[in-house]
Amino acid sequence: MQPRAKLFSGTGSRYLAEKIAQRFGEPLGKISIQRFSDGEIQPTFLESIRGDYVFLIQSTFSPADNIMELLLMIDAARRASAYKIIAVLPYYGYARQDRKDKPRVAIGSKLVANLLTAAGADRVITMDLHAPQIQGYFDIPVDHLDSSAIFIPYIEQLNLENLTFAAPDVGSANRIREIASYFNAEMVICDKHRKRANEISSMVVIGDVTDRNVVLIDDICDTGGTLAKAAGLLKEKGARSVRALCTHPVLSGNAYVNIENSVLEEMVVCDTLPLREHSDKIKVLSVADLFAVAIKNAYHNQSITSLFIHSQRRNK
């Protein structure tokens, strides 16, 4: 008999897990996550999960309690004799620390991978890692979903003429190139130089955007400084309009002010993270359907290739 599939949520992603469970066709499982007076976390499954596929939905954004909560949930599931434990991380925190780019620094994304594996996860389902090679940090299977399955249909319904895609930095060039190829569109690169994290010292545009409708695409929007500066520079270079599509709305510090005061027509984000404030410029698209299908396919041992559309060239 096929083991049952049960979905549970951590506290940080409950808003999204409820939508995923609804589209999956099963209610969220019952779990209690208590805190001692000093903040120590204690998750308890309130129903049997013995021999079940257990999907634990939790983005590991700040504070670090979200990571610790997920690790404890995994450990509790393993000790409760779950058949398979799948960690579902719509947003994989610490992914920006993916290499030693200077002496004596940690590789945070590798550490988190080690922690998830050591806790007892059998598989990870996540989306738009800051660097795709982070999948190689795991010795367990990783299903790496792509936001292009959500963003491409949105771009298509905009019906923009003279469409050009822009990478906000050189590191995003490959992601932008695939989407630009899908639309048979041009692409440009905004080459930036940082003095320190979250502080841009200079930026130049590589390519022509004169009279073009430009779409900036990035995986993470933290302070919004890069996107705001890139949008302003693109307009100075003659762009007709500039909008941004960003998967993970971290939006810390002065991000909301930076976005509101920018020349961006709009910023479209996914609900992998909860928004702290409202902004008329920010539009949210849900990843619930995408994750529900990915979870269903993982449960039935089916391919998730159909969830990737960025590699398909649109017919003109």
Architecture of domain 148-286 in this structure: 3-Layer(aba) Sandwich (3.40)
How high is the pLDDT of residue 3?
93
How high is the pLDDT of residue 201?
54
Q: List the chain domain ranges.
A: 5-145+289-306, 148-286
pLDDT tens string 203-236: 888 899 999 999 999 999 999 988 999 999 999 9
pLDDT tens string 191-200: 866 556 545 5
Q: pTM, whole model, 2 decimals? A: 0.93
Q: Is the pLDDT of residue 274 over 80?
A: yes
Q: Which fold has domain 5-145+289-306?
A: Rossmann fold (3.40.50)
Residues with a catalytic annotation lie at: 192
Q: Do the domains at 5-145+289-306 and 148-286 have one common CATH topology?
A: yes
Mean pLDDT of 83-91: 98
Mean pLDDT of 227-248: 95
Q: Is the pLDDT of residue 34 over 60?
A: yes
How high is the pLDDT of residue 197?
57
How high is the pLDDT of residue 314?
47
Q: Is the pLDDT of residue 190 over 50?
A: yes
Q: Is the pLDDT of residue 313 over 90?
A: no
SS (H, E, C) the chain: CCCCEEEEECCCCHHHHHHHHHHHCCCCCCEEEEECCCCCEEEEECCCCCCCEEEEECCCCCCCHHHHHHHHHHHHHHHCCCCEEEEEECCCCCCCCCCCCCCCCCCHHHHHHHHHHHHCCCEEEEECCCCHHHHHHCCCCEEEECCHHHHHHHHHHHCCCCEEEEECCHHHHHHHHHHHHHCCCEEEEEEEEEEECCEEEEEEEECCCCCCEEEEEEEEECCCHHHHHHHHHHHHCCCCEEEEEEEEECCCCCHHHHHHCCCCCCEEEECCCCCCCCCCCEEEECCHHHHHHHHHHHHCCCCCHHHCCCCCCCCC
